[in-house]
Amino acid sequence: MCGIIGYVGERAALPILSTGLANLEYRGYDSAGVALTGDELTIYKKSGEVSALQGILPESTEHTRGIGHTRWSTHGPPTDENAHPHTDCTGRVAVVHNGIIENYDAIRAELPEHTFTSDTDTEVIPHLIERELDDGAEPRAAVEAALERLEGTYGLVVTVAGVDELYATRRDSPLVVGHGDDGTFIGSDVTAFLEHTRDVTYLEDDDFAVIDDDGLAVYRDGEAVDPAVKRLEYEADAAEKSGYDHYMLKEINEQPRALRQTISGRIDLEGGTAEIDVDLPTPYLESIEEIQVVACGTSYYAGRYAAGILESAVDVRTTVEVASEYEFDGGRDPWRTLVVAVTQSGETADTLSAVRRANRAGARTLAVTNTLGSTVVRETDDSVFIRAGPEIGVAATKTFASQVATLALLSVDIGRTRGSLPYDEAVDLLGSVRQLPNAVQSVLDAEDRVKAAALEYADSDAFFFIGRRLGRPVALEGALKLKEISYDHAEGFAAGELKHGPLALVTERTPVLALLTDGARPDETRNNVKEVQARGAPVVAVTTDDGDAGSGTSEFDTELTVPPIGALEPLVANVYWQLFAYHVANEKGRSIDRPRNLAKSVTVE
């Protein structure tokens, strides 16, 4: 949550900071600000979206260094005063910060002579630095001394008037440095500066970085280290809208390409194996008795979908837990338990906490993520990348499909290694994965039909999504997408649970969106559909195409079909629910890419 951008170089800093904040707005959009560094600091801050800040910025300045921030509120409402950067009493020091300073009340009490002008926890940081400067410390030493007082999580960048250097450090909140031909960039995400460079260095926890005209210097435990530079694989235009009205719609339509990237080079259909570059020792895999999947939000639903595949293929108990609720308990043997952390960003605070609990217990941990160099990759024993490319829309879309596809390949890899997955079943599952890109494209080609249903029911009182087995997590994910971006009441249910309470809410103004594909026990779910139809509820159903789609008759108000590809048909059906949510929200004029109260990367617990 929240976005950071900083620059030191030969070019004018203000346009770089302004554009970088716009690129980062999916991480927070309650307020924004910049600090331009010269002999004095020049600060501009404004509540609201980045465009509000841009409206008060000058056309140009001569500054060639500065920092910026776009905020997602935690401490204090979104006001001009609470916007970052925050400064000290003298205006010499400015700080941008992601995370939470847990002991800020105690620090404020230590500084009674200082004047605080915001409600934020961040503001204590520049005042701590000011105190050190007043005591005679050099700027770098003053920042390092202030850091010693901080408890909590942070990614922060500091600039000091009259000083050519920017100072940066992180703890449980990401920071990445970009190396350009005419300057050095720092951001909370590579999208902050992707149009300028693809050569990056990911800072590790407690690294202390100094950025100046000579580039980047990194200190670890007080010693200089040679920072590793990685080259990003995706192009700058991957983070652009490319003519779409919203990032979310673009990313929905990118799913066939993202899935091709996910599975490329990983499927050996003839051999019935998956090659996912994971070094899980065969004796260990043969000994495991349980797989635990931990995740949050959309990643949690991806984990629930994949758990059904994993348990069948690997032939061990597979559980899925919301990461914020996770404890390694219940008498489990850590040496026989594999903990799989699913997180798009690799920085999700609750998921990282779950990983650390599993690590402390002695279990082996594996990350499934989209982000090279992320914290979860460094803190787990093994990792698999979903390779979906950057996702800017706050509501996850293409990463859900790529996570499930990657976990399906992991299922084949472990199942074949253990000897629990027969060759013919492995070939069937791999064939289903391989057909995903074309199957999803067929859904995208039918967008007009799902849009018509969305517009017809946009003003409904509530929306219920139902499914069984592999259709159940898709129902939950479909409801999540709709509530995230339309702000309508939407719930997902196991279809059989309707008659155990939720049916009391069903009326003619509560459309029911039903999963009736293979892999979702369609015959049983049809009985539940009849129950809601008897109460007058309209039904939008996704079924498996039986070749009779052009007959013109249907038992449902709207019937949409997916190709017959086997176990992953409910995953393909989910694309209809994404499109449905998008068009309902668009009809209502919602802020689709930046829904209220939400941010993309949840880096606070």
Which entry of 2, 45, 250, 481 is annotated as an active-site residue?
Answer: 2
Taking the CA atoms of 294, 300, 304 and 305 in sequence, report the sign of the dihedral they define: negative
Q: Which residues pair with 211 in a beta bridge?
A: 166, 216
Q: Identify the three-state secondary structure at position 118.
A: coil
Which entry of 45, 46, 398, 600 is annotated as an active-site residue?
Answer: 600
What are the distances in angstroms from CA 522 to CA 184, 381, 433, 511, 514? Answer: 56, 39, 21, 18, 9
Taking the CA atoms of 531, 537, 542 and 545 in sequence, report the sign of the dihedral they define: positive
**Dist CA 299 CA 341 (whole Å):** 9
End-to-end CA distance of the chain: 11
Q: Using DSSP bridges, classify how beta strands 208-212 and 215-220 pair: parallel, antiparallel or unpaired.
A: antiparallel
Residue (of 195, 171, 247) closest to 18 by Cα position: 195
Instruction: Please check whether residue 334 is in contact with residue 363, taking contact to mean a CB–CB distance below 8 angstroms.
Output: yes
Q: In whole angstroms, what separates CA 75 from the centre of its chain?
A: 22
- All residues at 6 or more sequence positions from 602 whose CB lies less than 8 Å from its CB, including other chains: 1, 296, 297, 348, 349, 350
Q: Cis (ω within 30 of 0) for the bond into 85?
A: yes
Cβ neighbour number for residue 502 with a 10 Å cutoff: 17
2 is catalytic: yes
SS3 per residue for 582-603: HHHHHHCCCCCCCCCCCCCCCC
**Dist CA 485 CA 476 (whole Å):** 15
89 is catalytic: no
Q: Using DSSP bridges, classify how beta strands 290-295 and 337-343 pair: parallel, antiparallel or unpaired.
A: parallel
Residue type, 416: R
Instruction: Please check whether residue 352 is in contact with residue 379, taking contact to mean a CB–CB distance below 8 angstroms.
Output: yes
Phi-psi region at 19: left, alpha or beta (left = phi > 0; alpha = psi -120 to 50): alpha
Cα within 13 Å of Cα(402), Cβ side: 31
What are the distances in angstroms from CA 342 to CA 183, 258, 365, 388, 516? Answer: 35, 17, 11, 14, 27
- Residue that is written with structure tokens 């331009």 in the block: 36
Instruction: Please check whether residue 213 is in contact with residue 206, taking contact to mean a CB–CB distance below 8 angstroms.
Output: no
Residue (of 441, 456, 366, 360) closest to 407 by Cα position: 366
Active site residues: 2, 600
